[in-house]
Amino acid sequence: MGKSKALDSGYRTVLDMDSTEIQVYGEQEESAYNGHFELTCFHPLLLFSRDGDCLAAKLRSGNVHSADGWEELLLPEIERQQKLGKEAAFRADAAFAKPEIYEALESRGVKYAIRIPANENRERDVAELLPRPVGRPSQKPTMWHKGFLYKVASWTTARQVVAKVEHHAGGFCSRALGLS
C-alpha cells in the first residue's frame, strides 16, 4: 500500500486502523494482562488519516482483541467523509480480516486493503511463486504478485486477493491482501 499517497486527494481519503499497547505498572483500573504482548496494559484502538493524523481513539482494556470496537470508530468517520463528498478507502492489518468488517465496508462502497492471515489453502494458490529462482540469489529481493478470487468458509462471497511473494537471500516471505 505504499502508493496510497496517490489515492488521497480532495475527493478521496484513506483511513488506517490499528491497535497498540500501553504498558502499565501497578493496578490501573481497566488494565489487564495481554498474552500476545506478554504484559499488563491498555490496548487502545486508533484511526488515522493517511497523513498520520489521529482521527479517533478509544482506550480499551488490555485483554481485548485488536479489532474489538472497530465499528464505533470507523463507521462514523466513513459517514463523515462521505457527507463531505469524499470517497473513503480503508487499510488495516490482519487483525481486521473479519467478514463483518468486509461486509460493512462493501455495503458503504468503501474500497479496502486488509492483510489476510497466512494459511495452507492460500499458500497452495501461490505455490508456483514459492520456489526460489534458479541461479545465484540476487542481492536485492525479487518480488512477484498474483491476483485471484478467494473464499473462506466464513465469507458469504469470494473476494479479490493479491498475494505478494518476496525472495530474499535468506528465504522467502509471502503475504496477501484482501481487496474490494
Residues 87 and 8: their CA atoms lie apart, in Å, by 9
Mean pLDDT value of segment 50-69: 94
Instruction: Write down the pTM of the prediction.
Output: 0.82
Residues 56 and 62: their CA atoms lie apart, in Å, by 18
Mean pLDDT value of segment 5-30: 83
Own/partner pairs, 95-99, CB within 8 angstroms, 24+ separation:
95/19, 95/65, 95/66, 95/67, 96/17, 96/66, 96/67, 96/70, 97/178, 98/67, 99/154, 99/155, 99/156
Look at residue 177 in the predicted model and tell me its pLDDT. 63
Where along the chain do its domains lie? 11-94, 118-131+140-180
Q: Above 70 in pLDDT, residue 6? A: no
Q: Tens of pLDDT along 118-172? A: 788 778 888 887 777 677 777 788 888 888 898 888 888 899 988 888 877 766 6
